[in-house]
Amino acid sequence: MSDKVVVIGGGIAGIQAALDLGDMGFEVHLVERTPSIGGHMAQLDKTFPTNDCSMCILSPKMIMCADHPNIVLHTYSELDGVEGDFPRFKVVIREKARYIDVSRCTGCGDCIAKCPVKVPSEFEEGLTIRKAIYLPFPQAVPRKVTIDASQCRMITQKKCGVCKKVCKAGAVDYEQEDKLVEIDASAIIVATGFEVMDVSALQQFGFGICKDVVTSIQFERILCASGPTSGHLKRPSDGEEPKSLAFIQCVGSRDAKSHAYCSSVCCMYATKESILAGEHCPGIKSTIFYMDMRAVGKGFQEFVSRAQRSYGVRYVHSRPAKLQPGKDGKGVLISYEKWGPGGEPVTEEFDMAVLCPALEPRSNAEMSSKLGLRVDSDGFLCSSDLSFPVDSTRKGVFVCGFSSAPMDIPDTVSQASSVAARAAELISGGGC
Amino acid sequence: MLMPRIGVFICHCGHNIASVVDVEKVVEFARGLPNVAFASHNLYSCSEEGLGAIRKSIEDNKLDRVVVAACTPRTHEPLFRRNCERAGVNKYLFEFVNIREHCSWIHAKEPEAATRKAMNLVAMGVAKAGLLEPQSEGESNVIPAALVIGGGIAGLAAASSLVSQGIETHLVEKQAALGGMLNEIPVVGPEMIESKDLIENYKRALECSPKAHVHLSSRVSSLSGFIGNFEATIQGGRCDEKVKVGAIIVATGGREFVPNGEYGYGSLPGVMTQLELERRLARGEIPKKVVMIQCVGSRQPGRELCSRVCCNASIKNAIRILDADPNAEASILHRDIMSYGTAAERAYKDASEKGAKFYRYGLEKIPSVKRKNGGLSVEFYDETLDELVALDADTVVLSTPILPVEDVKEIAKMLKVPVDKYGFFLEAHVKLRPVEFATEGIFICGSARWPSSVSECIAQGLAAAAKASIPIREGKVVIEPITAYSDPEKCIACGNCVLACPYEAIEIVLMDGKRKARVNEAKCKGCGNCVAACHNDAMEQKGFDTRQLAAMIDALIKNALEVSQ
Amino acid sequence: MSDFNPTILAFCCNWCSYAGADLAGVSRLQMPPNVHVIRVMCSASVKPEYVFKALSQGIDGVLVLGCHIGDCHYLTGNHRTAKRFPLAQKILRNIGIDERRLRLDWVSAAEGEKFQQVITEFVAEIKKLGPNPLREVRL
């Protein structure tokens, strides 16, 4: 009988921790809130500094998780509660009703085609729609549809029922209920990642006011070939290809009124997005408005140089004060102060602007209360002892990836493997 | 004999391949190739949908060999092999054609030529696939022990994790004490942890476990073998010790770059590096007016790297100085402050509130340091204020990058692992495999890979320990069937293959009274050196045999030469 | 001659040069589309017969790319490749094939740019040499 470990969060951190723990011989229960594992990395077009296609490098890991003899996936599931202590936690997982019998669903998509309800797609950051019965994205793992109960006409009003009629596999079950699964786990890993801050609260950046101001994660979806514009760089107001692009760093980060911390990855991803924009629209003029250009990792400085040299990206050391709609609601007028020689306030016009919002640790408040963990002043889960950076304040519970601190993919993967080591150490009773 | 039924699957890879290569044209072309029973395309072959479609096609068309034309086999070959197995096709009746890294990505502006080349490459792959033979995998044992090279914080974390997991571990450290660079840095930021406590916390596991073997003042002088079966010679004690291990972790750390006279280093008193400042602070010598200059010897032409940790080190030391003497003056001249994350950003704010001053300078006009009134003066052009500033100082600290240790090339050669242009070890994949080498069984952590903060070194050390423990826990590794074999009918026992083999895996033995070469499969590493050394075409390598390679050449000739004119 | 598009074969070893070629791809370093890679485990496994077969049957150029001396994944493989190479060139000279149609070079896994450089240079050189005269013989 192998020892069981519960991993909460199915993004790259949770996936890597699950794979390592599974390879090390533990029985892993990977719990993911959305219908598919993959997290934010699945939404990215490319990853810096190599510009690897994100889904290409992530997808095999997702499939390995699904195929792994030691990993049990609980998708569309949440942590309901935990009792007990290390080494015997009683973890209760709530598998939310998908209203689909997953043993019958083949992921064929016939139901999706016929569903009449359109809802903004979370995966596509609201840029296009999904149906009430849906697959979050084409490479979803597991490839099973889910019915969003709050939007489904049958479940809310007892009308429609088209999906059941067209499903040849007989997989639709409107009577399905949430299922509680109890797991006797020796360790728990928190890998709940981040969510992008709601920037409409920071009105000066014009999100929701200017049509042509988008968030960086929306921009990723626009760049992505499998995204809402099939990879064509188009600005929202008129669908035209932008000739000039602005990136605004630190929107809500390094800001005493919002989030004091630095989200760590934005300087690099903005550089990446400016390079990708240059590849999609040769000759496009991109400007990155930044405070400090944090290109601290392997190959990062060379990546920034490449953006400047080969794509003409202009780096302006300034924090824009205001973004406003351009003429006829198209384009963006950005007001900023030029530092250095001749420093004076300037307003410049751009066809489109991309905001790099603060990345907030998702679910930390919930994890903290359900698991009794301490969070720091910025909302990140603390470690018990600074010598043991991935140990939480509760023995047997470990934290990795963005839930512990803002970090990029390689650091997340390292932390994920490190919690596997720490969990294994504790479970085998090692140390003194 | 039944003719092979090859299935060819061309991948779009989203728009990575399809935006340059006309995928449908390649599919059409593939249908016309010899022995191809079925050809189609997938948007993402490696997705569940793509893999499922391949399996279904195998079943529906009774395919017995599969060719996938997509990205590089170096990442996804195992995935597709397993997929074949699931569909009932032997894993080794599979051939991967690279039309992305080797085609669409490098010929982006020549779609027609790229499509032609993709066709040629697919024809070559199909030709090889038709001649592949089913293989089965062998197994090799794994010695349940590990070697960690380097006893700094990364190596300590790795070794302590391994022994805590119950794995016999040899930790080799060239100095007389464990701790590496941390021994020179009493307090680490941004959390202000005492290094000696940190080192003690990790040494504890080593001290109380009989599974830990710590070799101080020692070096690994030679290494041979492969995953599961490495043999290392540790030199340091009275005599050399040979150890056998299943996995190796490289944690050789870095060294502080010493300036070549820049900013008056070596000629002006009071100009020192950060480590030299650490020594002074440890002795209680607190400067009254310190100016720290960031990015000395880094972020410049010829050495573009940002050493990641120096801004935070300067901030930490500025805080220590101002805490010790609130009347002291601390200024930091920088080109960007790299206080990424949470704790480092808090420390930056803290330092500012305590009175540290931050000035931004540019690469075009770097600061200059001169003597002034028995002390020093630092003159620089402040980009934000747009004016020339002169600061008096009694101490000028130069923040220089961490670079790999001097003998890194020797270590890399001994382990047969690659390094980048700076000498930092090159991991298997910069994003998803940061602590692994491409060579199985060897792992990397800490500043030997890239300058890393203490908590990053610890996380990487633990990560490497997790990875290293996997084959050890499995107890065995699968031998890829790419080993060599000799045809006794053709072998004339000339012995060339024996000499060519780097692993002494071939012997001349008596077979039916005649002397013939025989390959020891467990020792054979599948390099193929013997194949080219054999003058009688007796030696072949599974998966890379002469007929297969000749067929690939023929396919290229047929498709490229006959068509182009 | 100006529209001569050479057909070139390159043997790349799995550990160094094939990885270097992959890196060139990932870095999107552009190069002429004339070179077709055959993956082998070690440059020393490339039998001279493959080179002779290719060149005698009309292929315009052959590249053999391995790890740098001292860095061979299999310890001594590339030393053998290096020793074998001048002999192969001598044979080519003696049978009337321009020995410049065969090139040996070392590309490490970190050298995407070097791969691009070698490919670009070799294609340019082969273009100057013109089509392999043995093409006509074969056809």
Question: pLDDT, tens digit, for every residue of B226-258?
Answer: 889 999 999 997 789 999 999 999 999 999 999
Q: Which of residues 36 through 75 in chain A touch C, CB cutoff 8 A?
A: 50-52
pLDDT for position B563: 57
Q: What is the pLDDT of residues B457-467, one digit of tens each?
A: 999 999 999 99
Compare CB distances from A63 to B79, B160, B340 and report the shortest one's residue.
B79
**Contacts B83 to A, Cβ<8 Å:** none
In whole angstroms, what is the distance from residue A75 CA to residue B40 CA?
A: 32
Q: Which of residues 153 through 212 in chain A touch B, CB cutoff 8 A?
A: none
Extract the runs of DSSP E, i.e. beta strands, from B48-131: 65-70, 94-98
**Looking at the complex, does the CB of residue A49 fall below 8 Å from at least one CB of chain B?**
yes
Q: Which chains touch B (3 or more CB pairs under 8 A)?
A: A, C
Backbone angles phi and psi of B450, in degrees to 5 = -175, 145
pLDDT for position B1: 62
> Average pLDDT, stretch B81-97?
96
Closest-CA distance of chain B to residue A163, Å: 21
Q: What is the pTM of this model?
A: 0.87
In whole angstroms, what is the distance from residue C118 CA to residue A22 CA?
A: 43
What secondary structure does DSSP assign to A3-57, as a single string?
A: -EEEEE--SHHHHHHHHHHHHTT-EEEEEESSSSS-GGGGG-SEETTTTEEHHHH
Backbone angles phi and psi of C45, in degrees to 5 = -90, 0
- Look at B544 and C40 and tell me if their CB atoms are within 8 Å: yes
- Look at B466 and A418 and tell me if their CB atoms are within 8 Å: yes
The pLDDT-based confidence of B565 (bands split at 50, 70, 90) is: very low
Question: Burial of C115 by CB count in 10 Å (0-12 exposed, 13-18 middle, 19+ buried)?
Answer: buried
Are residues B107 and C31 in contact, defined by beta-carbon separation less than 8 angstroms? yes
> Average pLDDT, stretch A261-283?
96
B299 pLDDT higher than 50: yes
Nearest CA among A134, A21, A136, A12 for reference residue A71? A21
Nearest CA in chain A to C27: A50
Secondary structure in 3-state letters for B19-40: CCCCHHHHHHHHHCCCCEEEEE
Closest-CA distance of chain C to residue B507, Å: 18
Element (H, E) at A187: strand A187-190
Which residues lie below 8 Å from residue A352, measured CB to CB, with a gap of 6+? A212, A213, A214, A235, A242, A244, A245, A246, A331, A332
Average pLDDT, chain B: 94
CA B266 to each of CA A343, B258, B281, B368, C69: distance values in angstroms, whole numbers, following the listed order: 38, 10, 20, 15, 38
Q: Three-class SS of residue B101?
A: helix
Q: What is the pLDDT of residues A304-363, one digit of tens each?
A: 999 999 999 999 999 999 999 999 999 999 999 987 666 688 999 999 999 999 999 988
- Look at C36 and B549 and tell me if their CB atoms are within 8 Å: no
Beta-bridge mates of residue B357: B331
Q: Which of residues 225 through 264 in chain A touch B, CB cutoff 8 A?
A: 225-226, 231, 254, 260-262, 264
Are residues A249 and A288 in contact, defined by beta-carbon separation less than 8 angstroms? yes
- Domains of chain C, CATH where assigned: 8-138 (3.40.50)
Q: What is the pLDDT of residues B154-163, one digit of tens each?
A: 999 999 999 9
Extents of the domains making up chain A: 4-96+178-193+362-427, 110-166, 198-358
Q: Are strands B514-519 and A332-337 parallel, antiparallel or unpaired?
A: unpaired
- Domains of chain B, CATH where assigned: 6-137 (3.40.50), 145-255+403-477 (3.50.50.60), 258-400 (3.50.50.60), 484-541 (3.30.70.20)
Backbone angles phi and psi of A322, in degrees to 5 = -155, 145
Q: Which residue in C3, C36, C84 has the most chain B C-beta atoms within 10 A of its own C-beta, making it the best mutation to test that interface?
A: C36
In whole angstroms, what is the distance from residue B300 CA to residue B536 CA?
A: 56
Q: Which chains touch C (3 or more CB pairs under 8 A)?
A: A, B
Residues in chain A: 432
The pLDDT-based confidence of B140 (bands split at 50, 70, 90) is: confident
- Look at A50 and C28 and tell me if their CB atoms are within 8 Å: no
A198-358: same fold as A4-96+178-193+362-427?
Answer: yes
Backbone angles phi and psi of B250, in degrees to 5 = -95, 125
**Looking at the complex, does the CB of residue C1 fall below 8 Å from at least one CB of chain A?**
no
Closest-CA distance of chain A to residue C95, Å: 45
**Contacts C29 to B, Cβ<8 Å:** 106
Closest-CA distance of chain A to residue C118, Å: 21
- Look at C15 and B438 and tell me if their CB atoms are within 8 Å: yes
- In CATH terms, the superfamily for domain A4-96+178-193+362-427 is FAD/NAD(P)-binding domain (3.50.50.60)
> Average pLDDT, stretch B370-391?
92
Q: Three-class SS of residue B332?
A: strand
A198-358: in CATH 3.50.50.60: yes
Q: Three-class SS of residue B125?
A: helix
Nearest CA in chain A to B469: A24
Nearest CA among A9, A10, A35 for reference residue A146? A35
- Look at B429 and A57 and tell me if their CB atoms are within 8 Å: yes
- Say which residue, C139 or B558, is predicted with more confidence: B558
Q: What is the pLDDT of residues C85-116, one digit of tens each?
A: 999 999 999 999 999 999 999 998 878 889 99
Which residues lie below 8 Å from residue B97, measured CB to CB, with a gap of 6+? B67, B68, B69, B70, B121, B122, B124, B125
In whole angstroms, what is the distance from residue A355 CA to residue A363 CA?
A: 23
pLDDT > 70 in chain A, percent:
98
- Look at C30 and B108 and tell me if their CB atoms are within 8 Å: yes
What secondary structure does DSSP assign to B176-211, as a single string?
A: SSSBGGGGG-SEETTTTEEHHHHHHHHHHHHHH-TT
Q: What is the pLDDT of residues C18-49, one digit of tens each?
A: 988 998 898 789 999 999 999 999 999 999 99
Q: Three-class SS of residue B528?
A: coil
Nearest CA among A214, A262, A295 for reference residue A48? A295
pLDDT > 90 in chain B, percent:
86
In whole angstroms, what is the distance from residue B123 CA to residue B165 CA?
A: 50
